[in-house]
Amino acid sequence: MKISILGSTGSIGNNTLSVIANNDDYQVIALTAASNVDILYQQCLQYTPNYAVMVDFDAAEQLQRRLQAMGSATTVLSGVEGLETVASLAEVDIVVAAIVGGAGLLPTLASVKAGKRVLLANKESLVMSGELFMQAVKQFHATLLPVDSEHNAVFQCLPENFNLGLSEVGVTNIILTASGGPFRQFSLEQLQQVTPEQACQHPNWKMGRKISVDSATMMNKGLEVIEAHWLFAATQAQIQVVIHPQSIVHSMVAYKDGSVLAQLGRPDMRTPIAYALAWPQRINAGVSDLDISRLSNLSFEAPNLQQFPCLNLAYQALESGGLFPVILNAANEVAVELFLQQKIGFTDIAKWVEFALEQFSFQTMQSISQILEQDKQTRELLYQHITN
């Protein structure tokens, strides 16, 4: 199987390459990054892809010079156009969509329109374009497989014919688990003092800075609620979130006969990546076995929406529909960026997201260009109010 990895220098990309290194049936055709020349350069030397893409033009030129000096035959492309090119190459079977944030929408959609097997780790694509994205999956006969550990777990616990409708196949609820992040037991006063360094120290998972902050605010779980709505055609009432600090149960599916099916595993992204790569088969992920006899304390609790208002904002955006999820995502990306730059506080993230949602009226989602324009307007609005 031939693979393009969109966002190969991030956590998902690196873990995907780790799984590939343990299996001989996969060939890397393309690797991409935003601007991290050093890591992509090393990846190109190790995996010898046909193509490498850097979104930043100057970084692409630098990478090209360094690879040529080593005698590499890898062709370097640049910009969003380069991403879309390697996402839709005729020789590619699988596209791993692991670009962080709204920047992943267009290249991920390009892979869908090319009819690829798309391993979706970029939840923002579905959050932003929802209905249009799923229409494209159906129209172009793409195969969409979730890589997020929670949605991958749900996928494993659902019957094969879940596309008939969750109620039709006896499903009553999808239960997404959340670790609660590093601040699960913090008071509101303590949360106001949180630093970027603290927010990026997730207790269970090794992730990038943006998604680590999203996990700490529980916005990540809110985005996953919206993603689950589109992936599984689940109503808002059918999607439940529970706090599970141990991150062993990755999610559950409840059925009308009283059964609850759960997928368990170590908190290691190589497991869902390997499952999606080989589906419907199973391959070695390089993950050690889970010793059930040592699991003495698995706990679950309801999330505190006053403590973590971002989760509630995501539910509200989903209920409001239209372009509100686009606004939610764009505002969150700006707020998280400014928090990491120490220009706003941790608890200000939710306040600015709520502010952005209040500034726009309902619009029906009609086109990708409309989505991108709303995304742009939301970002400009927040930068203007926060940095001025």
Ranges in the chain annotated CATH 3.40.50.720: 2-146
Task: Provide the pLDDT for residue 201.
Answer: 87
Per-residue confidence (pLDDT) for residue 386, from 0 to 100: 92
Distance CA 134, CA 112 (A): 9
Specify which residues 52 forms β-bridges with: 31, 76
Cβ proximity of 61 and 82 under 8 Å: no
Mean pLDDT value across the chain: 96
Lowest mean pLDDT among 13-22, 46-55, 157-166, 203-212: 203-212
Q: At what angle do helices 123-139 and 219-231 cross, to 10 degrees?
A: 10
**Structure token digits, residue 137:** 């999956």
Cβ partners under 8 Å of residue 56, min gap 6? 34, 35, 78
pLDDT, position 202 = 81
Give the tens place of pLDDT for each residue, 322-350: 999 999 999 999 999 999 999 999 999 99
174 has pLDDT over 80: yes
Q: Which of 2, 272, 237 is nearest to 120 (CA)?
A: 272
Query: What pLDDT is stored for residue 208 in this prediction?
Result: 82
Q: Under CATH, which architecture does the 2-146 domain have?
A: 3-Layer(aba) Sandwich (3.40)
Contact (CB, 8 A) for 284 and 22? yes
Q: What is the mean pLDDT of residues 246-251?
A: 96
What is the model's pTM? 0.93
What confidence tens digit (pLDDT) does each residue in 101-143 have?
889 999 999 999 999 999 999 999 999 999 999 999 999 999 9
CATH number, span 321-388: 1.10.1740.10
Inform me whether the pLDDT recorded for 168 exceeds 90: yes
Q: How far apart are the first and last CA of the chain?
A: 50
Asked if residue 100 has pLDDT above 90, the reply is: no
Question: Coil, strand, or helix at residue 263?
Answer: strand
Please determine, for residue 286, whether its predicted confidence score (pLDDT) is greater than 80: yes
- Every domain range in the chain assigned CATH 1.10.1740.10: 321-388
Q: Read off the pLDDT of residues 185-198 as tens digits, 9 standing for 90 and up.
A: 999 999 999 999 99
